[in-house]
A and B are shown apart, each in its own frame.
Chain A
Amino acid sequence: MQEPLVSFEGVAKRFGSYTAVQKMDLQIHKGEFLAIMGSSGCGKTTTLRMLAGLEAPSEGIIRLAGRPINDLPSWSRDTPMVWQSLALFPFLNVIENVEFALKMRGIGRAERRRRAEQWLDRMQIAEFASRNIGQLSGGQRQRVALARSLVVEPDILLLDEPLSALDAALKVRMQSVLKNLQRETGITFVYVTHSQSEAFSMADRVVIMSRGKIEQIGTPQEIYRTPRTRFVADFLGSSNIFPGQLQQDRSGRAAIATASGHFLLAEDAAASAMPGQSASLTVLDTRMQIHLQPPADAVNMVEARMIGEEFVGATATIYFETGAGQEIRVQKSHEELADLPLAVGRSFHLSWLPADGHLVPE
Chain B
Amino acid sequence: MNQENELNRNPLIDGALKLYVVLAYLFVFAPILASFVFSFNSDRFPSIPLGHFSTEWYRAVAADPLVWDGLRNTLLIGGVVGVVSTALGFGAAYTDYRYRFFGKQVYLALALLPPTIPVVIMGLAMLAYLSRIDLSGNALSVIIAHVVICAPFAMAVIRLRLSQMDPSLEPAAWNLGASEWATMRHVIIPFARPAILGALFITMAVSFDEFAIAWFVSGLNETLPVKVLGFLQGQVSPRINAIGTFVFVTSMTLVILAQLLLSGRGTATGKE
Please state if B177 and A90 are interface contacts (CB–CB under 8 Å).
no
Number of residues from A at the complex interface, CB < 8 A: 31
Q: Which residue of chain A lies nearest to B191 when distances are taken between CB atoms in the complex?
A: A91
Tell me which of B172, B177, B193, B267 contacts A87 (CB under 8 A): B172
Please state if B166 and A74 are interface contacts (CB–CB under 8 Å).
no
- Which residues of chain B are within 8 angstroms of A134 by Cβ–Cβ distance? 268, 272
Tell me which of B179, B182, B187, B193 contacts A89 (CB under 8 A): B187
Q: Which of A98-106, A193-201, A277-285, A342-350 contacts B (4 or more CB under 8 A)?
A: A98-106
Please state if A74 and B191 are interface contacts (CB–CB under 8 Å).
no
Tell me which of A53, A80, A133, A148 contacts B268 (CB under 8 A): A133
Please state if B175 and A132 are interface contacts (CB–CB under 8 Å).
no
**Given known A101-B176, A104-B178, contact A90–B171 (CB-CB < 8 A):** no
- Which residues of chain A are within 8 angstroms of B179 by Cβ–Cβ distance? 73, 75
Interface size class of B (residues with CB under 8 A): 20 to 34
Please state if A90 and B270 are interface contacts (CB–CB under 8 Å).
yes
B168 interfacial contact with A, CB 8 Å:
yes
B104 interfacial contact with A, CB 8 Å:
no
Most A C-beta atoms less than 10 A away, residue of B174, B179, B267, B269:
B174
Main SS class of interface, A: loop
B186 interfacial contact with A, CB 8 Å:
yes
Bound CA–CA A100/B173 (angstroms): 8
Q: Which residue of chain A lies nearest to B270 when distances are taken between CB atoms in the complex?
A: A90
Bound CA–CA A91/B187 (angstroms): 8
Please state if B175 and A80 are interface contacts (CB–CB under 8 Å).
yes
A52 interfacial contact with B, CB 8 Å:
yes
- Which residues of chain A are within 8 angstroms of B168 by Cβ–Cβ distance? 83-85, 87
Bound CA–CA A52/B176 (angstroms): 10
Please state if B269 and A75 are interface contacts (CB–CB under 8 Å).
no
Chain B residues at the A interface, C-beta cutoff of 8 Å: 166, 168-169, 171-179, 182, 186-187, 190-191, 193, 267-270, 272
Chain A residues at the B interface, C-beta cutoff of 8 Å: 52-54, 73-81, 83-85, 87, 89-92, 100-101, 103-105, 132-134, 148-149, 152
- Please, could you name 12 A-B residue pairs with CB atoms under 8 Å apart, sorted by A? A52-B175, A75-B178, A89-B173, A89-B190, A91-B267, A100-B173, A100-B178, A100-B186, A101-B176, A132-B268, A134-B268, A149-B176
Q: What are the 4 A-B residue pairs with the smallest beta carbon separation, nearest first?
A: A87-B172, A90-B270, A87-B168, A90-B268
